[in-house]
Structure 1
Amino acid sequence: MIRHLVLFKLNEGVTKDDPRALAGAKAFEELGALIPELREWECGWNITDRDIAHDFAINSLVEDREALASYLGHPAHQAAAGQWRAFATWVIADLEV
């Protein structure tokens, strides 16, 4: 199993009520039902307000590297991630669990 974690940081001047951020969050929220390789899917806005905190997170689980590659290449994932490129940066970690 692989735990896929992503932390997003909104760009300077972008807030979570920005229409782009709201649309990006909605696109990610819908992925759990659209991509069969996802065994678990959680995402949402961070509730803490600290300088070192990121703004949005994804926590997902897939079966193996092949499933991860399928998820990452899925058109719905590509479209959702593409929205975020315009207003945020992110870091990822993929853990074998």
Structure 2
Amino acid sequence: MIRHLVLFKLNEGVSRDEERVRAGVRAFQALEGEIPELSFWECAWNITDRPIAYDFAVNSAVADTDALKRYLEHPAHQAAAAQWREFATWVIADYEF
């Protein structure tokens, strides 16, 4: 199994309450059940306010590297990520467990 973690940081001046941000969250929430390669999916806002903290997280799992590739290339994932490119930056980690 591969864990795929993504941490998002909203760009300077961007608020969680903006409609484009809310739409981006909805797009990620909708991926659960939409992409067959995902064996685990959760996403949520960070609940702590620390200078080093990121704002939003995606925690997911897939079976193997082929499944990860299919997930990343899936049109629904591509569309959701494209929304976030408009207002956030992110870091990822993929590891086997």
TM-score normalised by the chain length of structure 1: 0.99
Structure 1 outlier segments of 4+, above 4 Å: none
- Which letter does structure 2 place at the counterpart of 1:46? N
Return the offset for 1:58.
0.2
TM-superposed deviation, 1:59: 0.2
Normalized per residue, the structure richer in helix is 1
| Corresponding position of 2:49 | 49
The residue type paired with residue 28 of structure 1 is: F
- Where 2:95 maps in the other structure, the secondary structure is strand
Q: Shift of the alpha carbon at 1:18?
A: 1.0
In the TM superposition, what whole-angstrom CA distance separates every residue of 1:14-45 from its partner, at most 9, and x where no partner exists? 01111111000000001011000000000011
Q: Look up the match of 2:27.
A: 27
Q: For the aligned residues, what is the CA RMSD? A: 0.4
Q: Secondary structure at the match of 1:71?
A: helix
Residue type of the alignment partner of 1:10: L
Deviation string 1:48-83 (CA, Å, 9 cap, x unpaired) is 011110000000000000000000000000000000
CA distance in 2, matches of 1:29, 1:74: 15
State TM-score, norm by structure 2: 0.99
Structure 2: gaps (5+ residues): none
Aligned residues: 97
Q: Secondary structure of the residue that 2:42 maps to in structure 1? A: strand
| Identity over aligned pairs, percent | 69
